[in-house]
């Protein structure tokens, strides 16, 4: 391995996959491994994480971990997007005991933005929102040149900004959140109901041809490419509703950059960022010529590089 200085292992636990990478001082990913996220609770997730880290065959000085939940004071308070995680879980002790190095924990969306801010599309940004379009819709913030996680680690939840009072039911149990229109889990639910009600769509044929069980980003992007009427309608609504949330967020925070990531962003590229920018402008009080919307540069690596950057920053300040 041609590594520079110390190596830190970054771990990105998503609703679908767990990705790990050995990251060097220059934010290069030297080795990677990936496995499906177990749906059988925290113990099995920990087991998969350890197997993946061992498979990298690196000797990290620290480990950073991003998880899809609220993280405060080093603890995972809630992890709504992982099956079987109902109670507060201590991930740090078992991992640091097993690996013999310090472990730092963060929220996946914040960690993803930290990756883009350290080595990708958010570099140099002073007031940045990271918008992650996946199973749900996640968000992270850089404010005044520093990562911002709020009073109890729960800031940045752009997916749960209400865009329609009394609107569609969201996975959080409330109504009218942006995620209820733009999260893949919600979009799949609506697509299924609309197809049953007689809407023509190739979404489910594409899913079967791809041998997937869910409507993945790839399935959506293929359907959109073919101008599938149902996919186009649902995607237009997703962009419109995210536009409301983004425009309002820009009004509140006077951002200079929005970075769009997640599976759909990887498939659709800068075109998706441009469409969101156009949709958001309709709701902006003072559209700024300096505000840019950019698609993620690091793709799948954002979480891994960000988790490593989080661990590195913690080890420097500790
Ligand atoms: Zn919600």
User: What was the pLDDT predicted at 5?
Assistant: 81
Number of domains in the chain: 2
- CA separation (Å) from 189 to 185, 237, 267? 7, 14, 21
Range of 288's domain?
124-295
How much helix, strand and coil, in percent to the nearest 5, is found in the chain? 40, 20, 35
- What distance in Å separates the CA atoms of residue 224 and residue 233, rounded to the nearest whole number? 10
- What distance in Å separates the CA atoms of residue 281 and residue 286, rounded to the nearest whole number? 9
- CA separation (Å) from 16 to 7, 107, 163, 170, 213? 26, 16, 26, 19, 12
Q: Are residues 159 and 220 in the same domain?
A: yes
User: What was the pLDDT predicted at 137?
Assistant: 94
Q: Are residues 49 and 128 in the same domain?
A: no
- Within-domain flag for 99: yes
- Within-domain flag for 3: no
Comparing CA positions, the residue from 245, 247, 261 lying closest to residue 291 is 247
Q: Are residues 142 and 290 in the same domain?
A: yes
* Strand-strand pairing, 62-67 and 103-107: parallel
* 133 CA to centre of ligand 1 in angstroms: 14
Q: Are residues 220 and 253 in the same domain?
A: yes
* Span between the terminal Cα atoms of the chain, in Å: 28
* 138 CA to centre of ligand 1 in angstroms: 11
- Within-domain flag for 2: no
Q: Are residues 101 and 158 in the same domain?
A: no
Using the CB atoms, write b or e for 82-102: b if 16+ within 10 Å. Answer: beebeeebebbebbeeebebb
User: What was the pLDDT predicted at 2?
Assistant: 47
User: What was the pLDDT predicted at 87?
Assistant: 76
User: What was the pLDDT predicted at 317?
Assistant: 65
Instruction: Supply the DSSP string of 192-223, one letter for each residue.
Output: HHHHHTT---SHHHHHHHTT-SS--HHHHHHH
pLDDT in tens, the chain (318 residues): 444 589 999 999 988 889 999 999 999 999 999 999 998 888 899 999 999 999 998 889 999 999 988 888 777 777 766 777 777 778 899 999 999 999 999 999 999 999 999 999 999 999 999 999 988 899 999 999 999 999 988 899 999 999 999 999 998 899 999 999 999 999 999 999 999 999 999 999 999 999 988 899 999 999 999 999 999 999 999 999 999 999 999 999 999 999 999 988 999 999 999 999 999 999 999 999 999 999 999 998 999 999 999 999 887 765
- Counting beta carbons within 10 angstroms of the beta carbon of residue 148, is it exposed (0 to 12), middle (13 to 18) or buried (19 or more)? middle
**Residue 293 in contact with residue 258, Cβ under 8 Å?**
yes
- Within-domain flag for 252: yes
Q: Are residues 74 and 135 in the same domain?
A: no
Query: Half-sphere exposure of 92 toward its Cβ, with a 13 Å CA cutoff?
Result: 16
User: What was the pLDDT predicted at 4?
Assistant: 54
Q: Are residues 181 and 132 in the same domain?
A: yes
* 21 CA to centre of ligand 1 in angstroms: 31
* 179 CA to centre of ligand 1 in angstroms: 6
- Within-domain flag for 207: yes
* 225 CA to centre of ligand 1 in angstroms: 29
* 157 CA to centre of ligand 1 in angstroms: 9
- Within-domain flag for 282: yes
Query: Half-sphere exposure of 5 toward its Cβ, with a 13 Å CA cutoff?
Result: 10
- Within-domain flag for 210: yes
* 47 CA to centre of ligand 1 in angstroms: 30
* 181 CA to centre of ligand 1 in angstroms: 10
Domain harbouring 71, CATH code = 3.30.420.40
Q: Are residues 61 and 174 in the same domain?
A: no
Torsion of CA 119, 30, 264, 123, to 10 degrees: 0
Q: Are residues 226 and 260 in the same domain?
A: yes
Q: Are residues 56 and 164 in the same domain?
A: no
- What distance in Å separates the CA atoms of residue 211 and residue 28, rounded to the nearest whole number? 33
Q: Are residues 134 and 155 in the same domain?
A: yes
* 110 CA to centre of ligand 1 in angstroms: 18
Q: Are residues 198 and 268 in the same domain?
A: yes
* Strand-strand pairing, 29-36 and 137-143: unpaired
- What distance in Å separates the CA atoms of residue 276 and residue 3, rounded to the nearest whole number? 39
- Within-domain flag for 274: yes
User: What was the pLDDT predicted at 39?
Assistant: 87
């Amino acid at each position: 391995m041609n590594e520079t200085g110390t190596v830190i292992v970054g771990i990105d636990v998503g609703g679908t996959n767990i990705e790990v990478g050995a990251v060097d001082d220059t934010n290069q990913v030297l080795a990677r491994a990936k496995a499906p996220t177990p749906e059988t609770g925290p113990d099995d997730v920990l087991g998969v994480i350890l197997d993946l880290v061992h498979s990298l065959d690196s000797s990290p000085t620290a480990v950073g971990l991003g998880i899809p939940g609220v993280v405060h004071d080093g603890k995972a308070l809630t992890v709504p997007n992982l099956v079987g995680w109902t109670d507060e879980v201590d991930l740090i002790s078992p991992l640091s005991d097993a690996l013999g190095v310090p472990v730092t924990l963060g929220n996946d969306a914040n960690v993803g933005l930290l990756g883009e801010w350290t080595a990708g599309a958010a570099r140099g940004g002073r007031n940045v929102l990271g918008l992650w379009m996946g199973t749900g819709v996640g968000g992270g913030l850089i404010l005044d040149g520093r990562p911002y996680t709020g009073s109890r680690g729960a800031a940045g939840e752009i997916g749960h900004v209400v865009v329609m009072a009394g609107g569609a039911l969201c996975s959080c149990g409330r109504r009218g959140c942006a995620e209820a229109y733009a999260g893949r889990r919600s979009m799949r639910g609506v697509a299924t109901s609309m197809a049953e009600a007689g809407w023509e769509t190739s979404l489910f044929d594409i899913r079967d041809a791809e041998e997937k069980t869910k409507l993945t980003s790839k399935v959506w992007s293929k359907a959109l490419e073919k101008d599938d009427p149902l996919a186009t309608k649902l995607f237009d609504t997703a962009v419109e509703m995210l536009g409301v949330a983004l425009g309002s967020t820009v009004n509140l925070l006077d951002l200079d950059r929005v970075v769009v990531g997640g599976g759909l962003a990887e498939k659709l590229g800068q075109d998706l960022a441009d469409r969101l920018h156009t949709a958001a402008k309709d709701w902006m009080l003072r559209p700024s010529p300096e505000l840019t919307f950019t698609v993620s540069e690091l793709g799948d690596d954002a979480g891994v590089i960000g988790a490593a950057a989080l661990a590195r920053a913690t080890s420097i300040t500790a």
